[in-house]
Amino acid sequence: MTDPIADQLRDVLDGRWIELRRRARAELPAEVLLAPPGLSLEEHRARTTDSLLAIAGMGYGRVGFPAEFGGELDYAASCVLFEMQAYGDLSLLVKTGVQFGLFGGAVARLGTRRHHAAYLEDIMTGRLLGSFAMTEVGHGSNVQALETTATYDDSTREFVIDTPSDSAVKTYIGNAARDARIAVVFAQLTTDDGDHGVHAVLVPVRDDAGKPLPGVTIGDNGPKGGLPGVDNGTFAFDHVRVPKANLLNAFGDVGDDGRYVSEIDNPNRRFFTMLGTLVRGRVCVGGGAGAAAKKALAIALRYGAARRQFAAADGQDEIVVLDYLAHQRKLLPRLAKSIALSFAQNAVTERLQELQGDTGAERDQEGQRELESRVAGLKAVTTWHALDTIQVCREACGGAGYLAENQLTQLRADVDVFTTFEGDNTVLLQLAAKGLLTDYQAMWGDLDVPGMVGKVAGQVGERIVERTTGRAGIQRLVDVATRRDDDSATDSLAWAVSMFEQRANHVLETLGGRLRKANKDNAFELFNSAQDHVLLAARTHIDRCVLEAAAEAQQGMPDGPAKGLLERVLILYALSSIEEDKAWFLEHGRLTTARSRAVTSAINDLCQELRPQVATLVDALGIPAELITAPIVH
Amino acid sequence: MTDPIADQLRDVLDGRWIELRRRARAELPAEVLLAPPGLSLEEHRARTTDSLLAIAGMGYGRVGFPAEFGGELDYAASCVLFEMQAYGDLSLLVKTGVQFGLFGGAVARLGTRRHHAAYLEDIMTGRLLGSFAMTEVGHGSNVQALETTATYDDSTREFVIDTPSDSAVKTYIGNAARDARIAVVFAQLTTDDGDHGVHAVLVPVRDDAGKPLPGVTIGDNGPKGGLPGVDNGTFAFDHVRVPKANLLNAFGDVGDDGRYVSEIDNPNRRFFTMLGTLVRGRVCVGGGAGAAAKKALAIALRYGAARRQFAAADGQDEIVVLDYLAHQRKLLPRLAKSIALSFAQNAVTERLQELQGDTGAERDQEGQRELESRVAGLKAVTTWHALDTIQVCREACGGAGYLAENQLTQLRADVDVFTTFEGDNTVLLQLAAKGLLTDYQAMWGDLDVPGMVGKVAGQVGERIVERTTGRAGIQRLVDVATRRDDDSATDSLAWAVSMFEQRANHVLETLGGRLRKANKDNAFELFNSAQDHVLLAARTHIDRCVLEAAAEAQQGMPDGPAKGLLERVLILYALSSIEEDKAWFLEHGRLTTARSRAVTSAINDLCQELRPQVATLVDALGIPAELITAPIVH
């Protein structure tokens, strides 16, 4: 028996790549996607490799690669596939993300035709397993400071890859400890004519039998907080020689004369252009985390709608726990946020396709920068949301939630590091704020904001970028809200959108005002004392992007109960966010105390109102039923 | 080189059982207390059992048992030992907690001399491993609704223990899956003269060879989200017969005539009196979680004080990450809260000793009820604090924090279920609020608040219990604060104590006003719509207890730098709590917007001010150095 409202909502949530989602739901087998609990580390790793090969065998490794070399579908469609896989074992998800996304993506985007012809078919089929070796022991968030060297020896036309110190050892590298035969190694490129900054070089690391090649030392990061199936490890290189052709040379190369050549003169800009082609990884991580949160909610909500604990007052039937306001308060606002985030995720995925879909060349630098900023912030917001939500779901299922068979604890343990990899969330929020504050040229400074503040003092904050989506539906909503000045509209989407806009703009404007006072002498102090303000600016901007993307999708639906239901869900999301920031709204005179209290009442009312719609909303999430094996919901 | 300020603070934090803490620090061997990462489930379980026996072999199993039967030290001293063990592997902690605390404690407190003489020596030495079998599949928080039956057969003078349905199966029972030879089984007691509610009966479950006894079905809960060394499992009983003497008969017994006898006539009161003797378990869980949070903070703070990532603005040295305000903001308020909670933990432990130390008899029912309420709330607040803090510490250590060797991920996975066992946190907060609202007799209703509201409608809220500590030091502080009406005192302990008091009182008074309107018809609706208010009342009350306990300890110190430092730490704790509830203070006219902003500034200033004291404060936590093996801090 299908639920037409759920079907309609699911289609809207599925968005542009609805066919790929449907195909993945129908085709991807649960026995491949899920791993049983209780495997040993080695068993889990072996199983994950087998499952990766099974996925590749079904052709899914081709999604997102260029058609010319055997790829399929759109570049950004791979992010949607990543989301769909995230309903299964996240070890497998990350392993495929390393192979097809990071490693394969680097070969496709940083390499050129010679690399594509030589490697892509083997990468897509899983015949060649590889690593993406960027992070070093001493250098996580600060990629520009990597120490590994790639020194060009013109006499042999080779690069010499070397790890000069303990802090230069590559670490946390997926596929390294067990499977990789080759790695994309990020290293400081040097030729006879000087240093050229970080570049990527293909370095074989194991022979066909799996033995480390001479000069390559491989370590195992061992047991982790989660992702037991991913063989994270370390690489150290002792003057390992690779042919000149192994340089991934899309943005810089060594000519036949042994001299460095690049179409991008500025080394900083070159570096960030290279990094920019890797933004897809952050889109994927956010989407994967969002999917994991939805799976957890589906489990906890179904359990909560069935579990009885205490009898009600005299003579009444026992009440299911989800009928308690406290339980609804835990789960429903998070469900609403998960739904809102889905639309923001769809929006950045579509935008990624628009900007990088064809070639990865940066045609629209302004747009690319805006996308990077939004993706950085959305990744941070979504992964934290996922971590928080899965934990709350675990607790909402009590002791049963703690049993591995009920799927919540492994999910949470696995998602944990999503807040760290592909960029530490706090650093990413600062990056997002920076994208809002500085103009394009100013960005090619350091990744670190204090450095940037020092260097571009005087420019910072001059230009506060206004990043509305500028779409007609949203504008109409806001216009309606700002025309009203009575207190009756608290519980409306238009009012919420207007509040989100006011909050984001005010926080950003006042931040600009503070940072404008920076000069070389006070830059660190000034930045440091404003750091909480910086983070708030990023978060409120992202919140606004999320609500606007969701409202835009909702406004585009045909009138009817599905559209009406989604509106109520988005209002719950928005009011919950406003409630969290109530103090800000009160301090800044954007809410009266009466209206502030009305927000809390409205949330409580909405929880009760949406309670009967929970089954429909869970159905609309579109999680394949066979991937939810938790005995507590069966 | 010792730090005299750290030494002095440590002594204050060590409190009444300082000698036991010192002995545990000096004696408990790291090779027993710590488990290496990466063990299989079976290896971890076996190791945990061995370590439990090693701890028992050192005599620590005797702490908290009556001297007459070979026990040592005070009843409540076992809570302090529990804290000290929590710096090691939490699987071992929980395993010893099950053996000596829950199982042994039930025999000691619910049993009588015949049980003590027969069992305690073997329990303390670990020769007899046992379970505490309370929770059932269908009945977690609602213990009064347990289904397992203990039916007295006067013809054979035996109890027949039976599991009448699937939902009556005992589950999540520690020691069950592997080790227990006997279990304290909670069951509905029936004699020929009627039903007498839940009682505890000793039921042998395995023979000497470890094989389940006839009629006993034992299951394994399998892999969990953490605590891999604890063999949680299930028990089902098929008409298992045990001698009459196996009834733990301190509060109710079957006489030689086959009739039930008890000194407590009211079955509800009898039940809650039995449960009340078990409050020690909740004290332990809170203390253990608090210790785990401190260990995580020690790791993250030491790492943060050494890790360099980005260079500062031009020409300056690289900055350690802990010099960033955002990093301080993550860790220092949590450190301050950990320290404040330690004093509250000491206070409830001392109070437990005063009330139950000698006999466990309830001499002071009012005091006992107040303690139960405070312990319930403190357990919830502390375990959530621990979970949050360990996760933030993990993230603050980046990818390194995700490696098992750095001790954070296992800690977090293990502590997770501390929010659920010994009482679900949300249910416990409701219990705490109930304790504040109802008078003593009204309490002997159901554990569930809506039921209680229905039954005692009209009485509820009549009496708002004023639970100040009533100590002179605190009163002086508050008097000073309330005399001032200028804005200069935001950054003072006196002002903070006064704010905490105002918040707790106002929330409780208004809650009383709401619930007073309850009657039999509207009870559920009324209670349910006020549930967030109920939780707030409990939390703000506990926050107040925490700050007052900490301030009391601080006020009692001799004047000097240690006292001054602790004052600043407590102000940081208090202001962070006020900041979290800013909206409440603004809505209720307790903070002006100017003062509200001043709170945030004061927190930022305090973070910077306390930054140079971090090493001293970490030292003062008194975590044995050899238990912090994380390579990132060595």
Q: Which CATH number belongs to the domain containing residue B174 in this structure?
A: 2.40.110.10
Residue B358 neighbours by CB distance under 10 Å: 12
In terms of domains, do A370 and A510 share one?
A: yes
A197 Cα to chain B: minimum distance (Å): 16
The reply to whether A421 touches chain B by the CB within 8 Å rule is yes
Last residue of a domain, one of A217, A241, A274: A274
Is residue A219 domain-resident?
yes
Q: In chain A, which residues have their Cβ closer than 8 Å to the Cβ of B309? A: 139-142, 448
pLDDT of residue A31: 97
Is residue A35 domain-resident?
yes
Judged by CB atoms closer than 8 Å, whether chains meet at B226 and A37 is answered as no
CA angle A115, A120, A123 (to 5 degrees): 125
pLDDT of residue A436: 85
pLDDT of residue A212: 98
Is residue A481 domain-resident?
no
In terms of domains, do B121 and B139 share one?
A: no
| Per-residue pLDDT tens digits for B30-73 | 999 999 988 999 999 999 999 999 999 999 999 999 999 999 99
Confidence of residue B440 (pLDDT cuts 50, 70, 90): very low
pLDDT of residue B460: 36
The reply to whether A407 touches chain B by the CB within 8 Å rule is no
pLDDT of residue B471: 58
CB A182 within 8 A of CB A240: no
The reply to whether B7 touches chain A by the CB within 8 Å rule is no
In 3D space, the residue among A120, A122, A16, A118 whose CA is nearest the CA of residue A77 turns out to be: A16
**Which of A141, A579, A604 is facing B309, going by the closest CB pair?**
A141
pLDDT of residue B263: 93
In terms of domains, do B145 and B250 share one?
A: yes
Radius of gyration of chain B (CA): 25
B425 to chain A: closest CA residue: A395
Is residue B434 domain-resident?
no
Judged by CB atoms closer than 8 Å, whether chains meet at B140 and A391 is answered as no
Per-residue burial over A9-35, b if 16 or more Cβ lie within 10 Å, else e, is bbbbbbbbbeebbeebbeebeeebbbb
In terms of domains, do B137 and B81 share one?
A: no
Largest separation between any pair of C-alpha atoms in chain B = 91
Q: In chain B, which residues have their Cβ closer than 8 Å to the Cβ of A529? A: 325, 604
ipTM surpasses cut 0.90: yes
A 16-75 residues with CB < 8 A to B: 37-38, 40-41
pLDDT of residue B480: 61
In terms of domains, do B19 and B63 share one?
A: yes
Length of chain A as a residue count: 634
Asked whether residue B419 carries a pLDDT value surpassing 80, the answer given is yes
B 523-542 residues with CB < 8 A to A: 523-524, 528-529, 531-532, 535
Q: Read off the tokens for B272.
A: 């809650």
Q: In chain A, which residues have their Cβ closer than 8 Å to the Cβ of B424? A: 395, 398
In terms of domains, do B137 and B174 share one?
A: yes
| Per-residue pLDDT tens digits for B526-560 | 888 999 999 999 999 999 999 999 999 999 999 99
In 3D space, the residue among B172, B27, B433, B621 whose CA is nearest the CA of residue A400 turns out to be: B172
Is residue A256 domain-resident?
yes
pLDDT of residue B437: 81
A168 Cα to chain B: minimum distance (Å): 13
Confidence of residue B308 (pLDDT cuts 50, 70, 90): confident
In terms of domains, do B147 and B247 share one?
A: yes
In 3D space, the residue among B342, B298, B397 whose CA is nearest the CA of residue B83 turns out to be: B342
CB A352 within 8 A of CB A370: no
In terms of domains, do A412 and A517 share one?
A: yes
Number of structural domains (chain B) is 2
A 69-108 residues with CB < 8 A to B: none
pLDDT of residue B448: 46
A 119-178 residues with CB < 8 A to B: 135, 138-142, 145, 171-172
Domain that holds residue A256: 130-274
B526 to chain A: closest CA residue: A325
Judged by CB atoms closer than 8 Å, whether chains meet at A408 and B596 is answered as no
Last residue of a domain, one of A274, A307, A323: A274
How many angstroms separate the Cα of A433 from the Cα of each of A134, A426, A428, A508, A541?
24, 11, 9, 8, 8
Best mutation site among B139, B417, B503, B525 for testing chain A: the one with the most A CBs within 10 Å? B417
The reply to whether A469 touches chain B by the CB within 8 Å rule is no
CB B415 within 8 A of CB B289: yes
Is residue A479 domain-resident?
no
CA pair distance A60, A53, nearest whole angstrom: 10
Q: Supply the pTM of this predicted model.
A: 0.94
A19 Cα to chain B: minimum distance (Å): 36
Tell me whether strands A182-191 and A130-133 are parallel, antiparallel or unpaired: parallel
Q: In chain A, which residues have their Cβ closer than 8 Å to the Cβ of B593? A: 586-589
In terms of domains, do B119 and B146 share one?
A: no
In terms of domains, do A149 and A297 share one?
A: no
CATH number at residue A118: 1.10.540.10
Is residue A480 domain-resident?
no
The partner residues of A136 in beta bridges, in order of sequence, read A139, A170
How many angstroms separate the Cα of A493 from the Cα of each of A162, A276, A500, A594, B448?
57, 34, 10, 19, 37
**Which of B142, B311, B314 is facing A309, going by the closest CB pair?**
B142
Confidence of residue B524 (pLDDT cuts 50, 70, 90): confident
The reply to whether A404 touches chain B by the CB within 8 Å rule is yes
A225 Cα to chain B: minimum distance (Å): 5
CA pair distance A223, A213, nearest whole angstrom: 24
Is residue A471 domain-resident?
no
A523 to chain B: closest CA residue: B313
The reply to whether B413 touches chain A by the CB within 8 Å rule is yes
Judged by CB atoms closer than 8 Å, whether chains meet at A413 and B417 is answered as no
In terms of domains, do B53 and B142 share one?
A: no
**Which of A41, A226, A587 is facing B38, going by the closest CB pair?**
A41
Sheet arrangement for strand A233-237: A170-173, A233-237, A216-220
Judged by CB atoms closer than 8 Å, whether chains meet at B587 and A589 is answered as no
The secondary element (H helix, E strand) that includes residue A188 is: strand A182-191
Last residue of a domain, one of B268, B286, B306: B268
In terms of domains, do B176 and B191 share one?
A: yes
pLDDT of residue A526: 87
Mean pLDDT estimate for chain B = 90
Q: Mark the ranges of chain A whose per-residue pLDDT is less than 50.
A: 313-314, 439-470, 485
**Which of B38, B312, B597 is facing A450, going by the closest CB pair?**
B312
Judged by CB atoms closer than 8 Å, whether chains meet at A417 and B424 is answered as no
Asked whether residue B136 carries a pLDDT value surpassing 90, the answer given is yes
CB B627 within 8 A of CB B34: yes
A 591-610 residues with CB < 8 A to B: 593, 596-597, 600, 604
Judged by CB atoms closer than 8 Å, whether chains meet at B451 and A310 is answered as yes
Judged by CB atoms closer than 8 Å, whether chains meet at A600 and B532 is answered as yes
pLDDT of residue A18: 98
B453 to chain A: closest CA residue: A313
**Which of A139, A223, A309 is facing B141, going by the closest CB pair?**
A309
Q: Which amino acid is at B173?
A: I
Q: In chain B, which residues have their Cβ closer than 8 Å to the Cβ of A592? A: none
Judged by CB atoms closer than 8 Å, whether chains meet at A399 and B420 is answered as yes
Please write down the HEC assignment for all residues of B264-300: CCCHHHHHHHHHHCCHHHHHHHHHHHHHHHHHHHHHH
How many angstroms separate the Cα of B248 from the Cα of each of B106, B107, B201?
8, 7, 6
A581 to chain B: closest CA residue: B583
CATH number at residue A354: 1.20.140.10
